[in-house]
Amino acid sequence: MQHKLQTISEKFLIKGNFISANPFGSGHINDTYLITTSAEKYILQRINHHIFKEVEKMNQNIIKALEHFNEKQKISKDIRFRELKIILSKNGHNHFKDEDGNYWRMMNFVSGSVSFDVAKKPEMAYEAAKAFGYFRRNLIDVDPDDFYPVIPDFHNLEMRMSWFHKVLETNSESRNQFAENEIEFVLSREHLSKKLSLLLKSGRIPIRVTHNDTKINNVLLDKDTLKGIAVIDLDTIMPGTVLFDFGDMVRTFISPAEEDETDLSKVVLRLDIFESLAKGYLLELQHLITYTERDHLVFGGKIMTYMIGLRFLTDFLEGDVYYKTARPNHNLDRCRTQFRLLSEIEKNETAMNSIIDQI
């Protein structure tokens, strides 16, 4: 494998001689490697082209967003992030396609950085959310029509509900019997999908260019200061809403439990973490989002937690065809964690909205 990764790496415009390649990160979708040369370090990814079907257009989105972001930093002279960029292949493309039909992308490595899978304390949540807010603020004036929808209907809850019902009806893997409680949980909250659909169709929630995958481990923090220095995992940059970005932060920040925790008693909502992430994000954006967006931020947390749980459950029922799994019932465990968290959000919704109102 080292030889193959060396061969792939040398197809890009990298500096120095190849030394090593090591698995890197904890993503569910792409295969990621840290490439070390005699001069630099790089991030090499094998893109899952079954999910990201238009790799060139996806990378064009990333390049467009990063160029705009870096230019805005320079103009404002408020330079907080390290420069992040796609390394072109030697034939001038933003990716390399190997003889097996796999697509590869190379990016520079942000040295001196750390990332975390769980927000361990309020200060960490604040800095990560502030980084996402800063990223969003510097893309506030880009036209979403200029960005390709990398995964059409990625956060289309109405469509995902429709597919869920189809999977339920066919029961092709005969797994419905193992998830009766989870199926009932989804069905009892279909009103969330209807409310979101009405908000979007009315135009009350504007479409913007959003990250669409704002987990805390997609922020790189300076290892010494723990200030945000980059937002990564940019595959899903495309048209979306602030509710999706804020909602996914809520989903992934507020509980200390891992996304696939099997002990559901560990899935709790930490209001101090929520308050910190809300402050970090809104202090960057509070004059740049609408009152309607602001009033529905907690709803965004409910929507994203519900939607991701629904996706895990649907994947389980289909036979684990989308997400990587490491054990039997892995996707079922993941969906149970999400649904427990959504229940916690529902219990604390009034307090969470009060926190938003006071920022």
- Name the strand (E) or helix (H) holding 170: helix 157-170
The verdict on 78 and 184 lying in the same domain is no
pLDDT(261) > 90? yes
Same domain, 341 and 293: yes
Please check whether residues 106 and 173 belong to one and the same domain: no
Are 106 and 128 members of one domain?
Answer: no
Please report, for the domain that includes residue 171, its CATH number: 3.90.1200.10
* Of 89, 111, 133, the domain-final residue: 111
Task: Kindly state whether residues 59 and 201 are assigned to the same domain.
Answer: no
Task: Give yes or no: residues 132 and 202 share one domain.
Answer: yes
- Residues facing 105 on adjacent strands: 45
- Provide the number of structural domains found in the chain: 2
Per the structure block, which two tokens stand in for 69? 């972001």
Summary mean pLDDT of the chain: 95
CATH of the domain at 33: 3.30.200.20
Q: What is the pLDDT of residue 117?
A: 87
pLDDT given at position 28: 67
Predicted local confidence at residue 292, as pLDDT: 96
Which contiguous run of DSSP H or E holds residue 47? strand 41-47
- For the stretch 219-229, pLDDT in tens is 999 999 999 99
User: Smallest Cα–Cα separation from 143: which of 212, 61, 245, 56?
Assistant: 61
**What pLDDT, in 10s, does the model give residues 13-25?**
999 999 999 999 7
pLDDT at residue 67 in the model: 96
Same domain, yes or no, for 106 and 161? Answer: no
Per-residue confidence band for 324, with pLDDT thresholds at 50, 70 and 90: confident
Q: Is 116 part of any domain? A: no
Domain co-membership, 172 together with 98: no
Mean pLDDT of 207-211: 96
Locate 1 and state its tokens.
């494998």
The residue out of 67, 91, 111 marking a domain boundary is: 111
Is the pLDDT reported for residue 60 higher than 70?
Answer: yes
Q: Which domain holds residue 101?
A: 2-111
Tens of pLDDT, residue by residue over 3-46, are: 999 999 999 999 999 999 999 976 667 899 999 999 999 999 99
Final residue in a domain of this structure, among 84, 111, 138 = 111
